[in-house]
């Protein structure tokens, strides 16, 4: 068995890497796998913080035994009841039946729902602390980040925040558990943004509220349930969360479309190139017929300009574009600069639907839509260039505001 990894003087890392699952929540692609993190604080009382997905119970149990080194497990704190973190709980309790589960009012109900009656349960609130020897653990409720029962646990001795799903990312933890052990910072931040926008994205106001509560705490380490432990890059990850939770944006264009036979690709490229020539960077282009919506949503959370294109399909929007629109509406990503384009052979019928979508989102429309029939015949190239340039002008002029 490999040596147990220490997070600080008194905390051990007990996470596992999942390199088998292809879709997180059976929905979102994870080509770089997923880490389920758990932690053990050792003091006069030993405290386990969350567990892991049930698939990995054996490996997790071996690590827990090694870290405890024959000592008793006194408490298991449940920061989040979602099964990627509580899945191993029943099996762990069968090995450590004397452990007391530390829950809040909401997680207690969920605990009973998933596992029936559990023997040793201690219900805590934000006002209470848990003395474990040389420190008293504190609790910060974080409802809807990402489920209603979520809480953070704070260790004042090590100045460590255990932040449940918050600040987590897709991807396994490779080589080292700390942020400074990774050289792929940009990839890491992109996967954090994708995870946030896919999983927690519709709860921005709740995230803002809990960040306000946590901002007064001295924090040396942030231990999320997914991804690396934040230490050197705490300012960057807090800045990123500030922006994401407020639906803020930075200059850049995301052009998302889909095409059945490739004709709309020519118009998409015309628009994207015109925006690029006019000075916009980055310009990110997604064809949802071949790329997953997860990545497009992530970039729409990040950048200030969005252009959407769709073929007409069954007299309506192309299904993959409908899926995008519904996911964006659910997540209330606004404000953004907006434009759209479409095609429809004999009966193009998407412009009205895309206009309605922009109005519901309160996005600022920068130019008239471009609609083509079978090909780029006529003045479609010039119209596409006009849309790209109008978008560039808006993006370069400042940040979008909620449209009236
Ligand atoms: Fe990682 Fe909301 O579970």
Among 201, 165, 207, 206, smallest CA distance to 327 is for 201
**Residue 69 belongs to a domain:** yes
Boundary (domain end) residue, out of 195, 213, 245 = 245
Q: Are residues 82 and 148 in the same domain?
A: yes
Please identify, by atom number, the ligand 1 atom nearest to the C-alpha of residue 226. 1
Q: What is the pLDDT of residue 345?
A: 87
Q: Are residues 42 and 122 in the same domain?
A: yes
Handedness of CA 167, 169, 173, 179 (dihedral sign): negative
Q: Is 337 in contact with 366 (CB distance < 8 Å)?
A: yes
Q: What total number of domains does the chain contain? A: 2
Backbone φ and ψ of 176, nearest 5°: -155, 150
Boundary (domain end) residue, out of 245, 261, 285 = 245
Q: Are residues 214 and 284 in the same domain?
A: no
pLDDT category, 2, cuts 50, 70, 90? low
pTM above 0.85, yes or no: yes
Beta strand residue intervals within 248-322, DSSP E: 250-257, 283-287, 303-313, 316-317
pLDDT tens, residue by residue, 97-142: 999 999 999 999 999 999 998 899 999 999 999 999 999 999 999 9
80 CB under 6 A from ligand 1? yes
**Residue 154 belongs to a domain:** yes
Q: Are residues 238 and 268 in the same domain?
A: no
Q: What is the pLDDT of residue 285?
A: 98
Q: Is 335 in contact with 362 (CB distance < 8 Å)?
A: yes
Least confident of 192-201, 224-233, 370-379: 370-379
Q: Are residues 90 and 17 in the same domain?
A: yes
C-alpha distances (whole Å) from 217 to each of 10, 127, 195 are 19, 15, 25
Mean pLDDT for the stretch of residues 164-172 = 97
Tell me, what CATH number does 277's domain have? Answer: 3.40.50.360
Task: Name the token pair of 17.
Answer: 């890497």
Mean pLDDT for the stretch of residues 360-374 = 97
Residue nearest atom 3 in ligand 1 by C-alpha distance: 82
Q: What is the pLDDT of residue 265?
A: 97
Boundary (domain end) residue, out of 245, 269, 288 = 245
53 CB under 6 A from ligand 1? no
Other CB atoms within 10 A of residue 223 CB: 31
Q: Are residues 165 and 277 in the same domain?
A: no
What is the chain's mean pLDDT, rounded? Answer: 96
160-162, strands of its sheet edge to edge: 129-131, 136-141, 151-155, 160-162, 221-223
Tell me, what CATH number does 193's domain have? Answer: 3.60.15.10
Paired residues of 221 in beta bridges: 160
**Residue 403 belongs to a domain:** no
Interatomic CA distance for residues 98 and 75, integer angstroms = 9
**pLDDT > 90 in the chain, percent:** 94
Among 176, 106, 113, smallest CA distance to 144 is for 106
pLDDT tens, residue by residue, 17-56: 999 999 999 999 999 999 999 999 999 999 999 999 999 9
144 C-alpha to ligand 1 centroid (Å): 11
Please determine, for residue 364, whether its predicted confidence score (pLDDT) is greater than 90. Answer: yes
pLDDT tens, residue by residue, 134-147: 999 999 999 999 89
Q: Are residues 313 and 372 in the same domain?
A: yes
Q: What is the pLDDT of residue 3?
A: 73
pLDDT tens, residue by residue, 304-347: 999 999 999 999 999 999 999 999 999 999 999 999 999 998 88
Helix (H, G, I), strand (E, B) or coil at 42: strand
Q: Are residues 204 and 89 in the same domain?
A: yes
**Residue 404 belongs to a domain:** no
Residues present in the chain in total: 404
Q: Are residues 240 and 260 in the same domain?
A: no
pLDDT tens, residue by residue, 178-190: 999 998 889 999 9
Q: Are residues 39 and 157 in the same domain?
A: yes
Q: What is the pLDDT of residue 366?
A: 98
Q: Are residues 228 and 299 in the same domain?
A: no
**Residue 231 belongs to a domain:** yes
Task: Name the token pair of 38.
Answer: 């758990």
325 C-alpha to ligand 1 centroid (Å): 24
Range of the domain at 205: 5-245
389 CB under 6 A from ligand 1? no
Q: Are residues 185 and 222 in the same domain?
A: yes
Paired residues of 202 in beta bridges: none
Among 277, 254, 276, 257, smallest CA distance to 267 is for 257
pLDDT category, 1, cuts 50, 70, 90? low
84 CB under 6 A from ligand 1? yes
């Amino acid at each position: 068995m490999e040596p147990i990894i220490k997070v600080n003087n008194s905390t051990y890392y007990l996470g596992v890497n999942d390199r088998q699952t292809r879709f997180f929540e059976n929905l979102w692609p994870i080509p770089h796998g997923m880490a389920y993190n758990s932690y053990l604080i050792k003091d006069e009382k030993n405290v386990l913080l969350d567990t892991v997905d049930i698939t990995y119970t054996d490996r997790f149990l071996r690590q827990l035994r090694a870290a405890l080194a024959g000592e008793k497990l006194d408490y298991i704190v449940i920061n989040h009841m979602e099964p990627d973190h509580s899945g191993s709980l029943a099996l762990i309790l069968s090995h450590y039946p004397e452990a007391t589960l530390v829950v809040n009012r909401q997680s207690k109900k969920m605990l009973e729902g998933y596992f029936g009656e559990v023997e040793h349960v201690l219900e805590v609130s934000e006002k209470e602390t848990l003395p474990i020897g040389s420190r008293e653990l504190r609790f910060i409720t974080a409802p809807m980040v990402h489920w209603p029962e979520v809480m953070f646990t704070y260790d004042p001795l090590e100045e460590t925040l255990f932040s449940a799903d918050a600040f987590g990312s897709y991807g396994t933890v490779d080589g080292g558990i700390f942020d400074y052990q990774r050289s792929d910072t940009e990839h890491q931040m992109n996967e954090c943004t994708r995870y946030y926008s896919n999983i927690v994205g519709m709860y921005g106001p709740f995230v803002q509220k809990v960040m306000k509560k946590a901002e007064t705490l001295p924090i040396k380490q942030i231990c999320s349930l997914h991804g690396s432990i934040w230490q050197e890059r705490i300012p960057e990850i807090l800045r990123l969360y500030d922006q994401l939770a407020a639906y803020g944006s930075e200059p850049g264009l995301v052009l998302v479309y889909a095409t059945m036979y490739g004709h709309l690709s020519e118009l998409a490229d015309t628009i994207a190139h015109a925006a690029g020539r006019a000075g916009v960077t980055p310009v990110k282009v997604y064809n949802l017929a071949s790329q997953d919506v997860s990545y497009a949503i992530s970039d729409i959370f990040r950048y200030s300009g969005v252009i959407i294109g769709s073929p007409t399909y069954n007299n309506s929007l192309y299904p993959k574009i409908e899926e995008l629109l519904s996911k964006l509406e659910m997540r209330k990503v606004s404000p953004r600069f907006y434009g759209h384009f479409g095609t429809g052979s004999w009966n193009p019928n998407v412009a009205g639907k895309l206009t309605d979508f922009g109005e519901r989102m309160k996005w600022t429309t920068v130019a008239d839509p471009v609609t083509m029939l079978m090909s780029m015949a006529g003045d479609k190239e010039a119209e596409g260039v006009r849309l790209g340039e109008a978008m560039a002008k808006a993006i370069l002029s400042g940040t979008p505001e909620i449209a009236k």
